[in-house]
Amino acid sequence: MTTVRLTCSCGKSWEHPEGASIPSDLRSICPVCSLPTPAPFDPLSIFGGPGSSKAPTLVAPPPVAPPRPYSGSGTYVQLPEEAARSAAESVSAAPGKIVAGFEILEELNRGGMGVIYKARQVAMNRTVALKAIIPAKLEKPGVRERFMAEVKASALLNHPNIVMVYHTDLVGEFPYLAMEYVPGIDLLRLVRSTGPLPVTDAVYYIRQAADGLQHAHEQGLVHRDIKPSNLMVSPGPIGSEGLKAGKLPRVKILDMGLARVISPNGEDSETGLTQEGMFLGTPDYVSPEQAENSRNADGRSDIFSLGGALYFLLTGEVPFPGKTLVEKIRKALTEPPPSPMAKRKDVPPLLDSIVRKMLACDPEDRYQHAGEVVTALDRILRGEGGPVSSGPPIMADPEPLAPLAQVKAHDGGIRGMALTDDGQILVTAGEDSRVRLWQPSKLQEIRTFLGDFGAVDGMVLSPNGKRFATCATRLTTSEMGVQLWDMATGAEQRRLRGPAANVRCVAISQDSKAIAAGADDSMVWMWIADASGPKTFCMKGHSGSVTALWFVSPDSLLSAGADGTVRQWDLRAGKCKATLPAGVGPITALAFGGKRVAVAGESLAVRNPTGTFAKFTGHSGNVLSVAFSPDGRLLASGGSDRTVRVWSTENGEEVVSYTGHAHPVRSVTFSPDGRSLFSAGGDGTLLRWAVPVI
């Protein structure tokens, strides 16, 4: 009997007789998770026809132990008080239950907006925070659509100081969010349990939050509910051992972009005030212009709120106290910004002026960009403005030259390497026709996939981590193209054909609706997901092989080629918008860092926000690989000289150089937190390095 393969979103696949009707109620089909609704639509699923029906061999997959129950003192997010909790009673899942591919481990918090669980995503075996939201909160016309749009926009953010959004969908009528799980304690609870923080600690934490906000603002997102309880501190040792391991405490901004839609107008989680006002935000930290009309809030409103959070960390008090919402806002409008120096003597005058500038009533009188706050607070951390109380040091060992971990990963060169968004799985693809999954910190092998990968030239992960795409050197036209593989099983799902030449690079858009491939025929090939089916077209502009691709956005693509140019494509029109001669000879690698574009070839060059290319000099041979750190402040490069180098993107100076490879370095990538750097060599060696803090 001929069968078709059905796959649940939990990762379980099973055979179903072809031609037999598939029950409309899929809950009885999946033998693992009893999924209450069909698997959510994935745009990648509509590309092309089935690929090879032969599933690859799974080599010695060791058992993966489930995550241990969380025993720390932290919680994920601050939710409304007990009086608002009855509304959430209808949203419930017992530990051990599997919902939409997520195994519930424990309940973390319950409030008027819904319930937050610690959960395990079965397919990826990763721990997440699963937030089930009460449908009534999204019943107002247009709010649900706005909510989904902003969640999708937030999911495009990738910064070490912002909690990542992995996935959103519906389970029955209940919307849910799968987010990065962050153990630790929020800054509200930290101050309430320990009192005001040492000056350097407070500055260190708020500086990180400002860095994350700058990234969000650059992507067009304004938080509008910055407050201490939305700033989570992950645990980490302070001192020499912590520095060497790169484990200083890290701040994560919670609910990035969600507060615009789902912040309640009723019970407030910190003050207990109940108002029917139309503004979004928390009264103790909301800016005057946002209190007047939430639509007036731009990035400077977040800076005001962040200034209020910094004032709270230093003093243990809110900046404009009052018994009512009206009184709080009146004080923010009529009284001068409060001085933290008046509350404690060890606050330097420079820091006092920084706080008061952040809390200025008029947005024009504040810092205009969060990056300016970062620069100002860096002056405090460097000791300018007077002595401060002790806290986390900001400078690590400037020469962490020895690799933290090393392994012979492949027989032959590694040509593709990528980390999942949560940093829990490292994927490598080699010339030995193998794809391997690794535990990143110790480089311990999780599993090996043996499939028809060929001698891989390029590999990329889908944004949701469920699939990866590869391209390889092939001997016949019928084999040329891009292959899509299941991340959980290693099974080939689709083969995208079109190019009559070997494909050298592949990329997937942030919304998973587009796949791009660069080929030896000088074409950029596109496969676009559409409701009516996949659309395929190609774009010509390069005069030689297309060797590197990068999606700037779902509608904009960068390509680089052997002709030494970088081209920017408008995917809606299918036309080249700009051609940029890079001046590095034939280009071997390309990376996009928000404001900058790095290109590698006979040398290394970075296109700055001004539009000019700056040469980064240090490698003694061709540069083969490049990657920006998550915050864009560092650039890593690997070369034929067998070195890995890290550069400051601000001034082009070399920060550190690593030597440990015996062959050219063909791939480099940073961990999501920016603290580790992975490099892969032409001999199949994989190394992990500590990244210095600058």
Could you list the active site residues? 225
First and final C-alpha spacing in the chain: 63
3-state secondary structure 520-549: CCCEEEEEECCCCCCEEEEEECCCCCEEEE
CB contact set of 658 (below 8 Å; sequence gap of 6+): 401, 403, 643, 644, 645, 646, 677, 679, 687, 689
- With 0-12 / 13-18 / 19 or more C-beta atoms within 10 angstroms meaning exposed / middle / buried, residue 60 is exposed
Task: Name which of 208, 320, 339 is nearest 271 in CA terms.
Answer: 320
Cα(299)–Cα(369) distance, rounded to whole angstroms? Answer: 7
Cα(113)–Cα(181) distance, rounded to whole angstroms? Answer: 18
Give CA separation, 81 vs 136, 248, 267, 581, 628, in Å. 18, 32, 7, 58, 42
Is-contact 195 237, C-beta < 8 A? no
Is-contact 495 48, C-beta < 8 A? yes
Side-chain half-sphere exposure of 298, counting CA atoms within 13 A: 9
The H-or-E segment that residue 614 falls in is strand 613-616
- Paired strand residues for 17: 3
- Paired strand residues for 439: 444
Cα(156)–Cα(426) distance, rounded to whole angstroms? Answer: 20
Looking at 316-450, which runs of residues are DSSP E strands? Answer: 405-408, 414-419, 426-430, 434-439, 444-450
Strands 98-99 and 405-408: unpaired
Helix (H, G, I), strand (E, B) or coil at 60: coil
DSSP class of residue 288 equals H
Strands 613-616 and 604-607: antiparallel
Give CA separation, 557 vs 70, 130, 297, 509, in Å. 41, 32, 31, 9
